[in-house]
Structure formats: C-alpha cells, structure tokens
C-alpha cells in the first residue's frame, strides 16, 4: 500500500471479495534527510500516513517495512551509475523486479501471505500448458506491463492485479464509494526518490560525491566540431533537447550520444537519432524462449508506441531487435519490451550502439 488510490482500491476490492487482507507499505528512502523538500512520488511520510488511514477504514492490519537499504542498493545506486556511464536509467523497472516482487514478496510470505496484490494496471492469465502470462491492462492508457517484463513464473504465480480490467476513472469511483480518503488524490509521474526541488543530476552528485563541474566538457556536433560546453555530461540523456546552450543553429538540436570517458555530449538533428535496430542484453522471457527469430511488437520507452519488430536471440542472453521502421531516441540503459498483441513476452536492456 503506497498511499495512493490504486493500491488502496486494490485492498478494498480484495477485502470486499472476502479475502483476508494485510496492508504492507514500504519505506524505501530516508524521508527525513530532506524534510523541507517535497518528494516527487510515492512512499513519502504523507503517503504512508494515507496508507494507514485507508487500512484503518478497511479494518485491516497495516505494517510499514523498512526496505531503505535494499532500495538504495538495487535502485538508487544503479540509477546513479547509469547516469555516470552515459546511460538513461529505468529505476521503476528495477524497483518492481528487485524490491516489490522480490524482497517485498519474501516479507509477505514470511507473515503467511499466500499472494501479494498491488495496484498495477496489468493482467495475469494462464496459457494452455498452465504457464502464467503477463498481459496489458484493458485500460491501455494506464498499462504498466512495461515495468513488469522481468517478472518470473514464480512471481506471477504469487501475484494479483485487481485493477487490470478497470479504468482509472472506475478505480476512483470505487474508492469514492468506499469512502477512501485517497479517492481523488493527485497522481505523480515523477521518480519517487528525487525531491521536487532537485534535479536528477543533483542526486548523482550527492550520491557519488561528484563535485559540480567535475563532469564538465564539450558539446560537439556529430562530425566532432566543438559548438559549446556543459557543466556535467550526466545532465544529459539521449533525445534531450532542453538545456543545450548552443544557439545559432538553423535546426533543432538533440542529444545523440553521451560519452562518459571523454565527457563529450554529442548533438545532432532529429534524423541523427533514428535507429532501425538495437542489441539488448540480459534478455528475459516470461514464457518459453524462442529458438529463432520471431515477429513481435516492441516498446523502447514506457510511454512510447509499440512498433513491429523482429527479435533474434543471440548468445549470452542477448538479442538483436530489428524494427520495421526507424525510431528516434532509442536510449541505451532503457528497457525494450516485447509484445504479441496484449501479451508481454519479456524484454531486455538496450546496449550502447
């Protein structure tokens, strides 16, 4: 229970269906370290208080688990290292894989829970052989299957997604009818551990003890010509346009590459961002892995559209993904997720080209 309307409504639905429900919340970072700053997402002090209020309303036990150390190790540290390596991190996938459906699941089993339920917008089904399948939510605008592509058969078998066939307005209406105080609570789309008054770069500098200016370097064009300077290469990600203080160019310029070794940020036109293939590593298949190339739909960012592609398995858990059309801003460090219509097949992590 994060203190938001989704997990609160999921708890209400399960309690109403006659299940014995226990509310568990996760404290995943030090809320008091920057007490004068509002955080950008879930699991703040106020959110945990909302979760307790909902649990009291539903008359269910509620406990808060301190997962700060694990969250820091599995999510924040890789987030920082990604920026320092010139990559674009995807902390929400890491949180789901390593915290919510790993350590958190273990804690839930330890208190005797048979299943864990969350407020994710996704669905779990089974195929003819009895294997668990991950499918998109019926409300596609809220679908969160992209963030869950690394879940295993065991994890899917122990999970419930009560909101998978509901729309967001329906969820809010159910919460309001149930008298839950979070029914109209505002949604957040920011990364939870990044305070609203800070930038991602500030998190990197604080966590890695990087002094401002240590990452300074040149901004260059795709041909290598120097056209400006920057205060830190970790301020930039592939496809970024804002923050490029270069002026004097006829076309809009975008970040095409970030080189952590030379500290150079390479910029170019929109066409310079286009790619029609990528290599993914640490590829995970939810069902049976394919023995050869397969036709799928692929998504390279959580909010981007699915596009037709061919995935060819390679050695060492890698795969080549070839797109039927050129895509812009394919960012190394992000996840590429594979689909067959609404069925999530799995995915992998985009390597630097």
Per-residue model confidence as pLDDT tens digits over 171-183: 999 999 999 999 9
Helix (H) or strand (E) holding 302: none
Residue 268: count of CB within 10 angstroms of its CB: 17
* Fold of domain 5-119+162-177: Rossmann fold (3.40.50)
Q: pLDDT tens across 101-138, in order? A: 998 888 888 888 999 999 999 999 999 999 999 999 99
Looking from the CA of 312 toward its CB, the CA atoms found within 13 Å total 6
Burial of 36 (C-beta count, 10 Å sphere; 0-12/13-18/19+): exposed
What local confidence, expressed as pLDDT, does residue 248 receive? 58
What local confidence, expressed as pLDDT, does residue 43 receive? 60
Q: pLDDT tens across 210-240, in order? A: 887 899 999 999 999 999 899 999 999 998 8
Determine which one of 42, 43, 92, 95 is catalytic: 95
What percent of the chain is modeled with pLDDT above 70? 93
Q: pLDDT tens across 236-268, in order? A: 999 888 767 666 565 788 999 999 999 999 999
Distances (CA, A) of 249 to 200, 256, 267: 27, 16, 11
What local confidence, expressed as pLDDT, does residue 249 receive? 61
Q: What is the DSSP letter of 161?
A: -
Domain 216-272 has CATH 3.30.1300: no
- 52 Rama sector, left if φ>0, alpha if ψ -120 to 50, beta otherwise: alpha
Q: Where are the domains of the chain?
A: 5-119+162-177, 216-272, 274-350
What local confidence, expressed as pLDDT, does residue 104 receive? 87
Structural tokens at position 175 = 């919460």
More confident: 291 or 199: 291
Q: What are phi and psi of 299, to 5 degrees?
A: -125, 125
Cα 222 to the center of its chain, rounded Å: 30
What local confidence, expressed as pLDDT, does residue 319 receive? 97
Q: At residue 151, does pLDDT exceed 90?
A: yes
Question: Does the reported pTM lie above 0.95?
Answer: no
Is position 43 annotated as part of the catalytic site? Answer: no
Q: At residue 188, does pLDDT exceed 80?
A: no
What local confidence, expressed as pLDDT, does residue 212 receive? 76
Determine which one of 42, 43, 192, 344 is catalytic: 192
| Nearest of 129, 117, 203, 195 to residue 161 by alpha carbon | 117
What local confidence, expressed as pLDDT, does residue 36 receive? 46
Between CA 31 and CA 40 the distance in angstroms is: 12
End-to-end Cα distance, the chain = 39
Q: pLDDT tens across 51-67, in order? A: 999 999 999 999 998 88
What local confidence, expressed as pLDDT, does residue 28 receive? 78
Q: At residue 167, does pLDDT exceed 90?
A: yes
Do 212 and 233 form a contact (C-beta atoms < 8 A)?
A: no
Between CA 200 and CA 108 the distance in angstroms is: 32
What local confidence, expressed as pLDDT, does residue 196 receive? 66
Structural tokens at position 96 = 């789901």
Ranking 74-83, 104-113, 141-150, 259-268 by mean pLDDT, the lowest is 104-113
Mean per-residue pLDDT, 302-331 = 94
What local confidence, expressed as pLDDT, does residue 38 receive? 42
Structural tokens at position 195 = 């305070």
Is position 42 annotated as part of the catalytic site? Answer: no
Do 310 and 298 form a contact (C-beta atoms < 8 A)?
A: no
Between CA 149 and CA 93 the distance in angstroms is: 8
* Fold of domain 274-350: Elongation Factor Tu (Ef-tu); domain 3 (2.40.30)
């Amino acid at each position: 229970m994060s203190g938001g309307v989704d997990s609160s409504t999921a708890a209400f639905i399960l309690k109403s269906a006659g299940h014995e429900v226990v509310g568990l919340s996760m404290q995943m970072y030090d809320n008091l370290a920057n007490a004068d700053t509002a955080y950008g997402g879930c699991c703040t002090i106020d959110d945990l208080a909302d979760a307790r209020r909902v649990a009291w309303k539903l008359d269910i036990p509620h406990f808060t688990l301190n997962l700060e150390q694990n969250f820091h190790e599995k999510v924040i540290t890789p987030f920082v290292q990604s920026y320092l390596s010139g990559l674009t991190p995807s902390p929400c996938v890491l949180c789901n894989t390593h915290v919510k459906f790993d350590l958190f699941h273990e804690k839930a089993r330890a208190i005797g829970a048979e299943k864990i339920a969350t407020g994710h917008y996704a669905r779990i089904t089974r195929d003819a052989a009895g294997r668990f399948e991950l499918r998109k939510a019926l409300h596609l605008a809220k679908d969160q299957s992209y963030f869950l592509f690394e879940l295993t058969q065991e994890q899917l078998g122990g999970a419930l997604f009560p909101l998978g066939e509901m729309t967001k307005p329906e969820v809010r209406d159910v919460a309001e009818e149930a008298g839950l105080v979070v029914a109209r609570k505002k949604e957040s789309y920011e990364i939870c551990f990044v305070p609203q008054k800070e930038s991602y770069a500030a998190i990197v500098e604080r966590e890695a003890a990087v002094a401002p200016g240590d990452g300074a370097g040149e901004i260059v064009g795709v041909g290598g010509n120097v056209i400006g300077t920057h205060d830190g290469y970790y301020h930039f990600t592939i496809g970024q346009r804002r923050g490029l203080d270069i002026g004097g160019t006829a076309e809009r310029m975008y970040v095409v590459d970030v080189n952590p070794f030379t500290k150079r940020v390479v910029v170019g036109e929109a066409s310079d961002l286009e790619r029609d293939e990528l290599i993914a590593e640490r590829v995970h298949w939810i069902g049976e892995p394919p023995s050869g190339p397969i036709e799928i739909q692929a998504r390279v960012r959580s909010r981007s559209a699915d596009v037709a592609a061919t995935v060819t398995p390679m050695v060492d858990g890698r795969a080549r993904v070839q797109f039927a059309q050129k895509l812009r801003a394919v960012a190394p460090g992000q996840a590429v997720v594979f689909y067959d219509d609404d069925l999530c097949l799995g995915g992998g992590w985009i390597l630097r080209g």
